[in-house]
Structure 1
Amino acid sequence: MKSCISTYSFDKLYQDGAFTRFDAIDKTKEYGCQGVELVLDDKTPDGSTPMEYAKALCAHAKEQGLEVPIYTTGANFFVKEPEKELERLCRHIDIAAECKIPLLRHDVAWGYYEGYTGIKSYKKVIEAVASFVRQAAEYARERGVKTCSENHGYLLQDSARMLELFAAVDHPNYRFLCDMGNFTVVDEDCATAVSALSDYIVHVHAKDMLVRSGMNFDPGRGYNLSRGGNYWRGTIFGHGNVPTFQILSAIRKSGYDGYVSLEFEGMEPVLEGVEIGTQNLQHMIEAVGKMR
C-alpha cells in the first residue's frame, strides 16, 4: 500500500488564503507520501475554472513527483431535481478524465430535502438515487474513470445500507471508498463494518476519532453526536479509538494494495496533526507489508 494525503486535511488553513492547495501538495511531498488526493468543488479560490484549477494542481503534483490517484467532490442525488445534480457531477468526471485521474469519489445523499413528504426510510432514498449513481458510473466508465462513494452522509453510512446501495446501483464501475473512521458516526464497530465491504474497496481514507459514551456528560466543544447519542470528534490518526491498525491489516489481507489517504479532521494544530498522522500511517503500512 502507498501513503497519500487528502488536500481536505489542510482545510482550516485555506481560509485566509495564505496557505493554498499548492502548499498542501508541497507538504504532502515533504511528509514522504507517494500521492495526493485532490478535493475540489464548483468554486476555485483564484477565479479560474474548475478544469483549469485541477490541471494546475495536477501539474504541480507531477513536478513534485506525486501521483493523483483520486479526485474527490461532493454530490447529493436525493434532491428535487437530481437530473441537474447528475449533469453537474458529470462535469467533474470530465475534469478527472482530462487530468487522467483514474478514480472519482462523490457523495450520494445528505438528508431528507425540504418539502419531502414520503416515508423517511433509507430504502426509499436508495430507490430514488440508485439510477443516477448508475448513470454517473456509466458516464465515467466511457471516459476511463471509475466512480466510488464512501460511508458518509448519515442516511447511507452503515455497512448494511452501503451494501444495499451497491446492490441497487449494480454497476461494475461503481465501488467503495472505505473511510475507516466514519462508521463511528452511526455507532457501528468500524472493523466489522469494513470487513463487510472489503470486496468493494477501491480507495481508503485513514481517519481516527475519539469516542465517548452517551451515558457520560457532554465533553463539550469539538464533539458531535452519533446517530445513537454517543460523542465523537476527529483526532490525529493513531491517537483515537478507531482500531486503525487492525482495519488496515484486514484491508491488506483482503487483497487491496492501493493508496491510503490520510484525512485529518481534528482540533489539533493542522500541520502537526497531519504530520504525526502521516508518520503513524506510514509506520502502519510498513508493518502491514511485513505481515504474512
Structure 2
Amino acid sequence: MTSDITFGFSSYSFHSKLSTGEMTLPQVIEWVAASEGEHLELAVLGDDPSSPIPNIASDPAYVAQIRAAAEAAGVPLTNLAVGADLSSGDPSILEAQIERVKKYVDLAELLGITRMRHDVVPHAGHEGDDTPLFEQVLPTIVAACKQIAQYAATKGITTSLENHGFFVQSAERVRRIIHAVDEPNFLTTLDVGNFVCVDETPEVSVAQNVPYAMVVHFKDFYLRPADAAPGAGWFRSRGGKHLRGAVVGNGDIDLRAVARAIEESDFAGFAAIEFEGWEDCLLGCERGIAYAKSLFA
C-alpha cells in the first residue's frame, strides 16, 4: 500500500483563464503555491509563440521567466505534455515529428522538468474496427518512441505516452507500446478518466497500467447512455456514450475504486488534477484536489 503521492495540477485545468488572459502562467503558479497543490505540470497546446504555456516557439527569455517563477514560488514543474503524431508512413513527415518532439525534450531540460508526455497519434479516432490499422502502424510508433526515449535518457528525462487519443486510449494498446519500446525511461502518463472514452472500466484499466505509470492524472466525467439526449456540450465515447468533464469527485467514475487500485500498487510519485468541467476552473481545482487527497487519507 502507498500513500506517497504528491498532488498538484495540470496547467490544462486553468485553460479557461489562461486562454482569455484572465490569468497569466506566473499567476497560476502563485495560485498553486497558495493552494493544496504541490506541483504543476505544463500541457502544451501548440507551437505558438504567443501561448502562455512555454513551447518550442516561445521566446527563450519567457521560458527562463517561467522556470524562475516556479522556483521562486516553490512549485516544482513536474511534467511537460505535448501533442505529436508518430504514426505517419511518410518518412519525411515522421522524421520531422521526431525532431520536433526532441526539441521539446530540450525545452523540458531548460525548464528543469525531468518527465515528459508526448502523444503518438492525433486525438481523433478511426471508425469501425481499427485493429488492423493499429497493427500496421505499431512498429512505426514503437521505433519513434524508442528513438525519442533514448535521446531523452541522455538528459535524464523520462518520456511517456498517455491513454489519450481514441486510437491508443485502451489499456492494452498502451501496454503493448510500452513493452515493445522496452526502454527503462519510457512509461505512461496514466489518466484515470480517459479510459471511459473507449468504454473501459477505469478501476480495471488503472490496475492494469499503474505498474507502468510515470505520473497519474485525476479526472472525472459525467456519463450518460448512448440513447440519452443530454444536450449541447457533451462528446461521445467510442461506443457512443455521452461524456462531459466534471469536478473530480462530482462525476460518475468510481474514483474510490480507482484509488484502491493505485494504493494496492507500488506507485509513488506525482498526481495531477486535470479539470475539464464547466465550473469556474479555480473552484474545480480547489474542490477536485481536496476530494482526490481525501481518497488517500
Is contact 1:151–1:178 with CA below 8 Å preserved after alignment? yes
How far residue 103 of structure 1 moved from its aligned partner, in angstroms, is 0.5
What is the match of residue 138 of structure 1? Answer: 150
Report the secondary structure of 1:197's partner residue: helix
* Deviation of the 1:46 alpha carbon: 6.7
In the alignment, is the contact (CA less than 8 A) between 1:78 and 1:111 conserved in 2?
Answer: no
CA distance in 2 between counterparts of 1:226 and 1:151 reads 14
Structure 1 position 112, deviation (Å): 8.2
Q: Kindly indicate whether the alpha-carbon contact (under 8 Å) linking 1:51 and 1:95 is maintained by their aligned counterparts in 2.
A: no
The gaps in structure 2 that reach 5 residues or longer are: none
Matches of 1:34 and 1:111 in 2, distance apart?
29
Q: Tell me, in whole angstroms, the C-alpha distance in 2 between the residues paired with 1:119 and 1:179.
A: 22
1:44 aligns with 2:49: yes
Of 253, 262, 275, the match for 1:264:
275
Structure 1 window deviating more from structure 2 (33-42 vs 99-108): it is 33-42
Is the contact made by 2:124 and 2:166 (CA closer than 8 Å) also made in structure 1? no
Provide Cα deviations, 1:65-123, integer angstroms capped at 9, x if missing partner. Answer: 1111211111111233110001011111011123321101111112689xxxx995222
TM-aligned CA distance change 1:219 to 1:59, over 3 Å:
same
- What secondary structure is seen at the aligned counterpart in 2 of 1:37? strand
Give the alignment's TM-score, normalised by structure 1: 0.90
For the aligned residue pairs, the C-alpha RMSD in angstroms reads: 2.2
Q: Secondary structure at the match of 1:69?
A: strand
Are 1:236 and 2:236 matched, yes or no?
no
Q: Cα 1:280–1:213, aligned 2, differ >3 Å: closer, same or farther?
A: same
Take 2:132 and 2:276, find their aligned partners in 1: how far apart are those partners? 30
The aligned runs of 1:1-292 (5 Å cut-off) are: 1-40=5-44, 41-45=46-50, 49=58, 51-79=60-88, 80=90, 81-110=93-122, 121-214=133-226, 216-285=227-296, 287=297
What is the CA distance between 1:144 and its match in structure 2? Answer: 0.8
**Alignment-derived partner of residue 290 in structure 1:** none
Question: What does the per-residue CA deviation read over 1:148-205, in whole Å, with 9 as the maximum and x for residues that have no partner?
Answer: 1110000001011111111222222110111000000000000101111122011000
Identity of aligned residues (%): 30
Q: Normalized against structure 2, the TM-score is what?
A: 0.89
1: CA distance, partners of 2:51 / 2:208: 42
**Equivalent residue pairs, number:** 282
Structure 1: gaps of 5 or more residues: 288-292
Displacement of 1:15 in angstroms is: 2.5
**CA deviation after TM superposition for structure 1 residue 253, in Å:** 2.3
SS in 2 for 1:210: strand
